[in-house]
Each structure stands twice: as C-alpha cells, then as structure tokens.
Amino acid sequence: MKLFKSMNEKESLNWKKGVFFGFYTYLLISAVNYLYYSITENVLFSPAFIFLSGLIVAFVFEFIFNCKGKKQSYTKAK
C-alpha cells in the first residue's frame, strides 16, 4: 500500500531545486541571526522560525516549479 504517488523525473528535479532554495534560505537566515546575536547578544529569530522558513521555501518553490512545468506542458499540448 502506497501512501503517496511516486514522483516522475520532472517532479523529482523540481523538488531538488526547491530544496536548494530552501537550504540557502535557511543558511542566510541563520547567518543573519548569528550576526545579530554577535552584535547585540539577543536573537533576532527563533530556531523554529529559522527551520520552518527554510522548509516552507522548499515546498513553495517546488510547487511553483511544478505549476510552471504543468503550464508549459499544457500549452505545448494545444
């Protein structure tokens, strides 16, 4: 029994692109938070916000890439 459908090659590539953007968002927000902490001794973002922002960016970019791919394949079919 499968809980989710298998991803095709294009969806897998889009997920990898989304993870790329999500990871670098995570790194950027972590760096900003660390620099802010180094200067002021207070944190700017909570750890949960930092983690969730990277995760949300990964899913949003994957969704955008999948929608763009479906739109392009739909216009080619016409």
Total domains, the chain: 1
Is 63 a member of any domain?
Answer: yes
The per-residue pLDDT string of the chain (78 residues; one tens digit each, 9 = 90 and over) reads 778 888 899 999 999 999 999 999 999 999 999 999 999 999 999 999 999 999 999 999 999 999 998 888 777 666
**Are residues 35 and 45 in contact, defined by beta-carbon separation less than 8 angstroms?**
no
Is 57 a member of any domain?
Answer: yes
- The sign of the dihedral angle between the CA atoms of 8, 12, 17, 19 is positive
- pTM for the structure as a whole: 0.83
Is 15 a member of any domain?
Answer: no
Q: Domain range for residue 34?
A: 20-77
Is 4 a member of any domain?
Answer: no
**Are residues 1 and 60 in contact, defined by beta-carbon separation less than 8 angstroms?**
no
